[in-house]
Amino acid sequence: MAESEPTEQVHQTMDCIGLYCPMPVLKTRERMDEIAVGEILEVLADDPAAEPDIRAWAKRAGQKILKIEKTSEGFRFLIRRAK
């Protein structure tokens, strides 16, 4: 993490480790509908397709991906509900 990078407050975490396409993106979409605009959802996934799927969904849905990190288990996404 860069020194100037602000830390984002995660409001909810969703563990999609072990789930495969299309489940991580479907569960992300469902959970985003449950949180308030401006809140941040952390999604953990190990499906290699999760990165392009969640990127494409966020663009279509108008949601803001704040960060995508590669972790030892897979990926960590921070997504802010924009609308």
Nearest to 36 by CA among 73, 81, 74, 1: 81
H-helix or E-strand containing 36?
none
pLDDT of residue 1: 40
Residues of the chain with pLDDT under 50: 1-5
Q: Is residue 2 part of a domain?
A: no
Q: What is the pTM for the complete model shown?
A: 0.88
Q: Is residue 1 part of a domain?
A: no
Tally of structural domains, the chain: 1
4-18 confidence digits (pLDDT tens): 345 679 999 999 999
Q: Is residue 4 part of a domain?
A: no
Q: Is residue 24 part of a domain?
A: yes
CATH value at residue 36:
3.30.110.40
pLDDT of residue 11: 94
Among candidate residues 14, 19, 21, 35, the one labeled active-site is 21
Between the CA of residue 20 and those of 7, 46, 50, 74, 77, what are the distances in Å? 29, 8, 8, 12, 16
Nearest to 78 by CA among 34, 47, 39: 39
Per-residue DSSP letter, 71: -
Q: Is 21 a catalytic residue?
A: yes
